[in-house]
Amino acid sequence: MIEVQGVSGQRVAVLGLGRSGLSAARALRAGGAQVLAWDDSPEAREKALEEGFEIKDLTRDGAFGDIAMLIVSPGIPHLYPQPNKAVANALREGVAVDNDIGLFFRSFAAAGWAAHDVPPRVVAVTGSNGKSTTSALIHHVLQEAGKDVQLAGNIGRGVLDIDPPEDGGVVVLELSSYQTELARALTPDVAVFTNLSADHLDRHAGLGGYFAAKRRLFAEGGPDRAVIGVDEAEGLFLAGQMAEAPGDDRVIRVSVNRKLAGPGWSVFARKGFLSEYRKGRQAGSIDLRNIKGLPGEHNHQNACAAYAACRTLGLSPKVIERAFHSFAGLPHRSQLIAEKDGVKFVNDSKATNVDSALKALKAFGKIRWICGGLEKEGGLSALAPALENVTKAYVIGREAAEFSLQLEGVKAEICTTMARAVEAAMSEAQPGETVLLAPAAASFDQYDNFEKRGEDFIEEVRSRL
């Protein structure tokens, strides 16, 4: 556990008692704070009460009269579309509002670090798509290289649940916009920005607010190194803001759309080959085409970002390449779950928006595509460039008929349920084809989350093999 610093003797409130909320409450108590907790769920309150935390309704007027700080869990809005009542109360009374990420960065450096030969470092990864795979890949490479490394944040353990790092240790954090937008301290040693596409727009009042939340990871603390995907205008702008000159190698630009030239530091992938350039000369390369855990252009972007981050930590290209080959990938993200009679079965349930689904469709040819669910804003027109790869679509979800009407030029069957979709796709699949779950939609019309949807797909496939 990372004990929170600077709170001894203070009364600190925690709003939201899920994984991150309870973790923050424990770390605050370990740091000497008196913790008051609140959640709208009676079950969550009961669990906190069993752990000895005082329960206080923070939504009531005057609730913050003796409270020094409010710690808010990621899913609770503090500004848009409208602030939670407890957050509004705190702000009106001048109480500082933070989250577990802010607590982590203000508390990470401990007194014992004076004895370290090499201070521990933090690599923080954000972006719209690929941040989980990129974070897990960095963690895997460092682990294979024999480093003391921990994975936390949106993936792995809660940030305050990790062990105090050893000499030369590395903590890899996956951070969502919900986490970066509110943290009062953001000081990673290496910050990674994968890409940007429209998502969570109601929470951030539009794309500009969403990008601003991501940008805080770079602007607030000034990382020693910034790895930035520059295939979108926002990433290109961010790289320009962070670099002092064209040759400033504190910024590593990443692309899968074009060769990156110039005097600076860059990593790019073209036609399945990763290349690293520094000061106009090639410094490393990897053939990504036969790495099973990283299929498709979107995973090549993840590989470039992870490669760049690991290079900043002193790893050689050969060490990174060797680790790439043993990376199995993450569940529900271009996950190869089976292969039989020349047909591949791939679970990309995490493709919950059009942009991520587009990347999944581009990664494979001759696709039997299982799609559908709770559609997000913007429609499906952006999928058009990859629909030529689709042999047939099998549409699930409560609004399957409406969803299928947007798939112009694609033969589609309305299946509604996962069982029916898998049965139909498997019965019709031919050698050389891929049965791909890439929904391009949220799961909440039928499942609790995308993990449950992916698990259902896996179960239905394996029960028929």
One domain, residues 131 and 175: yes
187 and 223 housed in the same domain? yes
| Coil, helix or strand at residue 315 | coil
Residue 287 and residue 156 in one domain: yes
Residue 221 and residue 246 in one domain: yes
Q: Is pLDDT above 90 for 200?
A: no
From 23, 51, 44, select the one nearest 153 (Cα to Cα).
23
117 near 168, Cβ under 8 Å? Answer: yes
pLDDT at site 113 = 81
Q: Is residue 104 part of a domain?
A: no
The DSSP output letter for 386 is: G
The answer to whether position 147 is within a domain reads yes
Indicate whether 150 and 46 sit together in one domain: no
127 and 271, same domain (yes or no): yes
Last residue of a domain, one of 98, 127, 155: 98
* 107 lies in some domain: no
131 secondary structure, DSSP code? H
Backbone angles phi, psi at 395, to 5 degrees: -95, 130
CB 166 within 8 Å of CB 186: no
Residues 191 and 174: beta-carbon distance below 8 Å: no
What's the Rg (C-alpha) of the chain? 23
Domain identity same for 125 and 58: no
Q: Do the domain assignments include residue 330? A: no
Which segments are annotated as binding site for ATP?
Answer: 127-133
**CATH code for the domain in which residue 314 is found:** 3.40.1190.10
Tens of pLDDT, residues 326-346: 998 889 998 999 999 999 999
Q: Which of 68, 98, 128 is the last residue of a domain?
A: 98
Residue 103 covered by a domain: no
Q: How many residues does the chain have?
A: 465
For the stretch 130-161, pLDDT in tens is 899 999 999 999 999 999 999 999 887 899 99
Sheet holding 367-371, edge to edge: 335-340, 343-347, 434-437, 367-371, 390-396, 412-416
**87 contacts 72 by C-beta, under 8 angstroms:** yes
Binding site, by residue number, is 127-133
What is the strand order of the sheet 54-55 is part of?
54-55, 34-38, 11-15, 69-72, 96-98
- Condensed to tens digits (0 to 9), the pLDDT of residues 271-322 reads 999 999 999 999 999 999 989 889 888 899 999 999 999 999 999 999 999 9
Which of the four pLDDT bands, split at 50, 70 and 90, describes residue 415? very high
Map residue 15 onto helix, strand or coil. strand
Supply 460's token pair.
Answer: 């239905």
pLDDT for 250 equals 96
Q: Which domain holds residue 242?
A: 112-325
Report how many domains make up the chain: 3
278 shares a domain with 138: yes
Q: What percent of the chain has pLDDT over 90?
A: 86
Whether residue 256 has pLDDT greater than 90? yes
Asked, for residue 196, whether it belongs to a domain, the answer is: yes
Same domain, 292 and 345: no
Does 3 map to a domain? no
What does 177-232 look like in DSSP terms, one character per residue? HHHHTT-S----SEEEE----S-SHHHHTSHHHHHHHHHHHHHTT--SEEEEE-SS
Q: Which of 325, 343, 375 is the last residue of a domain?
A: 325
Pair 168, 309 in one domain: yes
Nearest to 147 by CA among 156, 138, 155: 138
Asked whether residue 203 falls in the same domain as residue 349, the answer is no
Q: Which of 358, 350, 344 is nearest to 331 (CA)?
A: 350
**Looking at the structure, do residues 265 and 157 belong to the same domain, yes or no?**
yes
What is residue 396's three-state secondary structure? strand
d(CA 153, CA 180): 11
Contacts of 331 (CB under 8 A, 6+ apart): 347, 451, 454
Specify if 4 maps to a domain.
no
Token reading at 451: 């993990």
* DSSP per position, 44-111: HHHHHHHTTPEE--TTSTTTTTT-SEEEE-TTS-SSSS---HHHHHHHHTT-EEE-HHHHHHHHSS-G
User: Residue 378 has which token pair?
Assistant: 């913007």
